[in-house]
């Protein structure tokens, strides 16, 4: 087995992601120039196969110009829902290998495999394993960079494209980095690049061999110091895992369209209580409440509000969703469906704010927890009317 001590960061990047997904479902386009981009001459290229890139086509180029360079290209409008779904599967594959997955966009992520155990081998073997599985499961290729730091891993995957893998061992970092143009460094945009070129600094090696002070005078203390460190292969940034967004909620389509605000309010209360119950059973608090309103003509709007304190209390969700609804000022518009969603969830046991809740709110939470227990014993139907009764203070009446 190859030894790659100190090399545990992978950067995985799908090759020509959107275009590759399109080719996967239109196999007759394999091996041909394909461009995904806005239609008409005003759209821009968002992705292009390597067959199109050979003609000079690249992302962010106007489609009209791309077609002049490569008149035989097939231009497709793009299907974000499909790309998002493929992205989700690929990220799930990464997370099955290590919890330390930091997505940078739909089609690339850093992984730190230092703690991944021996089952899959070292970082190089894990990189090959990922490449094989992405191809088997998704029918698209990716490139992998393996290094001791994030920015070198990213540069390594770029140099391996397409459909390749590059390992840069610690002893090889300077030899790999120093010949690269300064613009290749992560964080060097066109403006910084121009400044560096004016100073006669063309390669990363040039950056490494001027005093840090020179870079700091030209770019500012923080940016100059950071670039000097990068030029010597030093990058303290860790792989920061980004949990997939969790959310939960409930919605209700009325049997006939409704225009009575009291009925809407009552439904929002039901949905808030159901959503809060789900949060409690997940052990989560929510930071953002979103309501959805679908009108009789199927037009649909959503409105969100972020709470000062995360909560799993139905009363809090109701107060917020009712305020959001009332702020719409709908004035008896005919409504087909309403929904309540809890988004940006956090783990309840990792959120100290909960302990700071005032006595009144705490009592409310206790009451709802008691209702959860009763619901488990007697069924949800037995509990909800009682909870509503308690909440509104008027049997059968409209909640406040």
List, in sequence order, the alpha helices (H) in 306-358: 314-327
Q: State how far the alpha carbon of 111 is from the alpha carbons of 57, 137, 236, 319, in Å.
A: 30, 19, 15, 41
Q: Judge if the upstream peptide bond of residue 212 is cis by omega within 30 degrees of 0.
A: no
Q: Cβ 65 to Mg ion, closest distance in Å?
A: 21
- Cβ proximity of 337 and 292 under 8 Å: yes
Candidates 12-20, 79-87, 110-118, 322-330; binding stretch for Mg ion (CB under 5 A): 12-20
Q: String of b and e for 72-93 (b: at least 16 CB within 10 Å)?
A: ebbbbebeeeebeebbeebbeb
- Cβ proximity of 292 and 302 under 8 Å: yes
Name which of 83 and 325 has its Cβ closer to Mg ion.
Answer: 83
Q: Cβ 92 to Mg ion, closest distance in Å?
A: 18
Compute the radius of gyration of the chain from its Cα atoms: 27
Q: Which residues are catalytic?
A: 108
Q: Can you spell out the DSSP letters for 167-220?
A: E--GGGHHHHHTTSBGGGSTT--HHHHHHHHHTT--BHHHHHTS-HHHHHHHH-
Name which of 163 and 347 has its Cβ closer to Mg ion.
Answer: 163
For residue 304, the tally of other CB atoms under 10 A from its CB is 13
22 binds Mg ion (CB under 5 A): no
Candidates 8-16, 119-127, 235-243, 382-390; binding stretch for Mg ion (CB under 5 A): 8-16
Name which of 108 and 319 has its Cβ closer to Mg ion.
Answer: 108
Q: Cβ 187 to Mg ion, closest distance in Å?
A: 18
Segment 94 to 153, residues that bind Mg ion, using CB under 5 A: 107
Counting residues that bind Mg ion (by CB under 5 A) gives 4
For Mg ion, which residue of 13, 22, 102, 316 counts as binding (CB under 5 A)? 13
Q: Cβ 185 to Mg ion, closest distance in Å?
A: 18
Q: Cβ 108 to Mg ion, closest distance in Å?
A: 5
Q: Cβ 144 to Mg ion, closest distance in Å?
A: 12
Name which of 69 and 104 has its Cβ closer to Mg ion.
Answer: 104
- For residue 149, the Cα-to-chain-centroid distance in whole angstroms is 22
For residue 121, the tally of other CB atoms under 10 A from its CB is 17
Name which of 102 and 107 has its Cβ closer to Mg ion.
Answer: 107
* 142-147 vs 9-14, strand pairing mode: antiparallel
Q: Cβ 47 to Mg ion, closest distance in Å?
A: 8
Site string for Mg ion, 229-268 (x = CB under 5 A): ----------------------------------------
Query: What is the Cα–Cα distance from 85 to 219, expressed in whole angstroms?
Result: 41
Candidates 9-17, 224-232, 344-352, 361-369; binding stretch for Mg ion (CB under 5 A): 9-17
Name which of 84 and 302 has its Cβ closer to Mg ion.
Answer: 84
Q: State how far the alpha carbon of 94 is from the alpha carbons of 91, 119, 290, 391, in Å.
A: 5, 15, 30, 46
Site string for Mg ion, 167-206 (x = CB under 5 A): ----------------------------------------
Query: What is the Cα–Cα distance from 248 to 54, expressed in whole angstroms?
Result: 46
- Cβ proximity of 379 and 316 under 8 Å: no
Name which of 161 and 336 has its Cβ closer to Mg ion.
Answer: 161
> What is the contact surface with Mg ion in residues (CB under 5 A)?
13-14, 17, 107
């Amino acid at each position: 087995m190859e030894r790659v001590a100190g090399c545990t960061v992978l950067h995985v990047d799908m090759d020509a992601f959107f275009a590759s997904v399109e080719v996967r479902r239109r196999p007759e386009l394999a091996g041909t120039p394909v461009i995904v981009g806005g239609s008409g001459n005003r759209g821009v290229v968002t992705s292009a196969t390597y067959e199109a890139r050979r003609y000079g086509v690249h992302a962010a180029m106007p489609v009209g110009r791309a077609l002049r360079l490569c008149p035989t290209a097939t231009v497709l409008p793009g299907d974000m829902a499909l790309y998002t779904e493929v992205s989700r599967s690929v990220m799930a594959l990464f997370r099955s290998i290590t919890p330390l997955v930091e997505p940078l966009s739909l089609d690339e992520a850093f992984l730190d495999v230092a703690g991944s155990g021996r089952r899959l081998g070292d970082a190089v073997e894990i990189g090959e394993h990922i490449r094989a599985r992405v191809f088997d499961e998704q029918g698209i290729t990716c490139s992998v960079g393996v290094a001791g730091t994030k920015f070198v891993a990213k540069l390594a995957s770029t140099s391996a494209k397409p459909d390749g893998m590059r390992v840069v061992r610690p002893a090889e970092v300077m030899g790999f980095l120093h010949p690269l143009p300064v613009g290749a460094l992560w964080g060097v945009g066109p403006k910084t690049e121009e400044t560096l070129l004016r100073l006669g600094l063309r390669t990363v090696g040039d950056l490494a061999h001027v005093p840090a002070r020179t870079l700091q005078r030209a770019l500012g203390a923080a940016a100059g110091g950071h670039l000097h460190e990068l030029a010597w292969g030093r990058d303290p940034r860790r792989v920061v895992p980004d949990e997939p967004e969790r959310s939960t909620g409930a919605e209700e389509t009325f049997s006939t369209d409704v225009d009575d605000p009291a009925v809407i309010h009552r439904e929002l209360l039901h949905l808030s209580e159901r959503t809060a119950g789900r949060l409690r059973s997940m052990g989560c608090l929510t930071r953002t409440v979103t309501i959805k309103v679908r009108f009789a003509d199927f037009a649909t709007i959503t409105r969100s509000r972020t709470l000062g304190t995360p909560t799993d209390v139905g009363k809090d969700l109701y107060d917020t969703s009712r305020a959001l609804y009332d702020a719409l000022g709908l004035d008896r518009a005919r409504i087909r469906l309403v929904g309540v969603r809890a988004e940006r969830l956090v783990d309840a046991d990792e959120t100290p704010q909960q302990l700071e809740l005032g006595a009144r709110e705490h009592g409310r939470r206790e009451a709802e927890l008691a209702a959860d227990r009763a619901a488990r014993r007697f069924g949800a139907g037995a509990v909800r009317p009682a909870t509503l009764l308690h909440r509104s203070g008027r049997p059968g009446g409209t909640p406040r």
